[in-house]
Amino acid sequence: MSSITSRRRPGRPSKAEAGDTKAALLDAALRLFAQNGYAGTSIRAIAREVGLSESVLYAHFDSKQAIYDAAMALAGPQAATVALDDAPEDPAAFVGSFAARVLAAWDTPQSRQVMSLVSRDGLIHDDALNEGIEDALARLAEVFAGWQSAGRIRTDLGGPDDLAYALLAPIAHARMLWLHGTATEEQRERARARITAHAALFATALSP
């Protein structure tokens, strides 16, 4: 039985190679953004950081803004939305799982660099950041609304929007204080302890 072996054209990178290059460029950009700020980092500097030409960078990203948007999508507040996927249905288990998954996503080198960039450049009110936060809060509120309607959690602590904010805000606060690019292991451990304790207390308070 004959077989056909597909060959890519000489000089044309494979999808895996292209993906590796894009990831390397994003890593380099995050490091430089965290160190020098968004305005203080040039396209040329990002390309040079990984030993590539600017033309190669533009093959993966249309602009510096596109790199920033990719960084926010990878390590911004969207992690809180992703943490809702395939989450446990039990309220207490859900809260613990949500907090743990958000913590894991925000305690990576890239995520901590994003936090440093946001703090350094005063991007707390950036549209991309705020849209991600609002989306996460809205998704969380839907979960709490369903549980309240079914009588699975208390209704005297506030409405679904209140509960969503009450769960996420302390986690985001711990991130801002202790999960930045230059955070020490002691600071990161403090964030882990605070977030875990908050989730446990919140889950207990929800029980009807």
* pLDDT tens for each residue of 38-85: 889 999 999 999 999 999 999 999 999 898 888 777 777 777 888 888
Contact 132, 118 (CB under 8 A): no
Return d(Cα 117, Cα 34) in angstroms, integer.
5
What value does the mean pLDDT take over residues 137-144? Answer: 95
Please, what CATH class does the domain formed by 15-68 belong to?
mainly alpha
Q: pTM score, two decimals?
A: 0.79
Predicted confidence band of residue 17 (pLDDT cuts 50, 70, 90): low
Q: Are 30 and 71 in contact (CB under 8 A)?
A: yes
Per-residue pLDDT band for 119 (boundaries 50, 70, 90) equals confident
CATH class of segment(s) 76-206: mainly alpha
Where do runs of H (alpha helix) occur along 14-63?
Answer: 15-36, 43-49, 54-60
Identify the DSSP state of 73: H
Q: Where are the domains of the chain?
A: 15-68, 76-206
The amino acid occupying position 114 is V
Residue 127: its pLDDT value, please? 75
Residue 5 pLDDT more than 50?
no
**What's the pLDDT band for 18 if we cut at 50, 70, 90?**
low
